[in-house]
A = this chain, B = another copy of it.
Amino acid sequence: MQRITITPSQIHGNHIALTAEQHHYLTRVIRLQHGAQFQAIDGTGKLYLAEIIAEISQQISTRTAQIIQTITTLNRELSQPITLICALPKGNNFDDLVRACTELGVTTIFPAISDRTLLNPSPQKLQRWRKIAQEAAEQSERLVVPTIEEAQALKAIFDQLPTPTYKYLCEARGEHPHLLTSLQSTRLTDMSIIIAIGPEGGWTDAEIEMAIEHGFQLVSLGTRILRTITAPIVALSIITAAIENSEL
Binds B, one of A12-20, A27-35, A36-44, A224-232: A224-232
A223 within 8 A of B: yes
Asked if A103 is at the interface of the complex by the 8 Å CB criterion, the answer is yes
Given A233-B230, A233-B233, A238-B241: A224 and B76 within 8 A (CB)?
yes
Select A237's contact among B103, B140, B234, beta carbons within 8 Å: B234
Report A83-123 residues with CB < 8 Å from chain B CB. 96, 100, 103-105
Q: Which of A59-67, A147-155, A175-183, A204-212 contacts B (4 or more CB under 8 A)?
A: A175-183
Chain A residue total in the interface (Cβ 8 A): 34
Report the minimum CB–CB distance from A178 to chain B (whole Å). 6
A88 vs chain B, min Cβ distance (A): 19
Interface centre among A141, A240, A248 (most CB of B within 10 A): A240
Q: List 27 A-B contacts (CB under 8 A).
A: A75-B223, A76-B224, A100-B230, A100-B233, A103-B225, A103-B226, A104-B226, A104-B234, A105-B224, A139-B225, A139-B227, A140-B224, A140-B226, A140-B227, A142-B224, A178-B244, A178-B248, A179-B241, A180-B245, A181-B245, A184-B245, A221-B241, A230-B233, A233-B234, A234-B237, A237-B238, A238-B238
